[in-house]
Amino acid sequence: MRSTPRPRRSNTRQQIQEVARDFFMERGYEKTSLREIADELGVTKAALYYHFRTKEDILVSLFSDVGIALDELIFWGRQQHRSLAVKRELLARSSVIFSGAAPLFNVLNANQATLSDLSVGQDFKDRVTALSELLQEPDASVAAKVRCVTALLSLLYGTFAIEHIEGDAEEKRLALLAGATELLTSAYPTDDSDPRASTLDAPSATAPKAEPTAS
């Protein structure tokens, strides 16, 4: 999951990140105070400032890996010529990234308002926008565009929602992907293949570096 093997400075830095991630998930970014993080670790607030320049920095540091993964995917997508197959592949790879870092995306999602004027929040929105543009044909019908956008969104938001359904995680992920792919496919005017079956064979769900541990 981590692309650049980060230097193992002290482990305090890592601990801060872990506690911060947990707290941001539980109570949200805004409502997590540095004091709480410090207390949980048994250190002083000032200690946090030794490792991170600001509170936002802690947040940002959590997203570097996932940000890179998304950027790589977008870069890849722009390289390809626009075909249904490529778009399906984009969806498949997005699914892997999303579910590999579900907690993190959840933080972003649940704190949209708070994070919107922090770079990390805007960056994320931009990436999703970029992705959804890769899925749309510029001159498609409104209905088609709506379907494309919905495909991506259902993948993203579905990832959090399906955690409440009991069942095998990977099975759920694939079901979600299948639905999203149908939505995408149905945006294409004439299409020989049976939309309901097609998606399940979207194979290359393993994006270049993204190795999702099927948690």
Helices (H), 136-188: 142-161, 169-186
The nearest distance, CB 174 to a copy of itself, in angstroms, is 8
Can residue 51 be called a binding residue for DNA (CB under 7 A)?
yes
Spatial separation of the C-alpha atoms in residues 50 and 54, rounded to whole Å: 10
Identify which range of 37-45, 75-83, 186-194, 207-215 contacts DNA by CB under 7 A.
37-45
Q: b vs e for 151-163, b when ≥16 Cβ sit within 10 Å of the residue's Cβ?
A: bbebbbebbbebe
By CB under 8 A, is residue 112 in contact with a copy of itself? yes
Rank residues 40 and 182 by Cβ distance to a copy of itself and give the closer one: 182
Question: What sign results for the dihedral spanned by CA atoms 112, 117, 123, 125?
Answer: positive
Options 40, 56, 72, 133; binder of DNA; rule CB under 7 A: 56
User: Which of a copy of itself, DNA, none lies near 159, with the C-beta cut-off 5 to 8 A by kind?
Assistant: none
Contact between 181 and a copy of itself per CB under 8 A: no
Burial class (CB in 10 A: 0-12, 13-18, 19+), 186: middle
Dihedral Cα 21, 23, 24, 27, nearest 10 deg: 160
Binding region for a copy of itself (CB under 8 A): 24, 27-31, 107, 109-114, 116-117, 129, 142-143, 145-147, 149-150, 153-154, 156-158, 161-162, 164-165, 167-168, 171-172, 174-176, 178-180, 182-183, 186, 195-196
- Name the site residues for DNA (rule: CB under 7 A): 2, 6, 8-10, 12, 32-36, 42-47, 49-51, 53-56
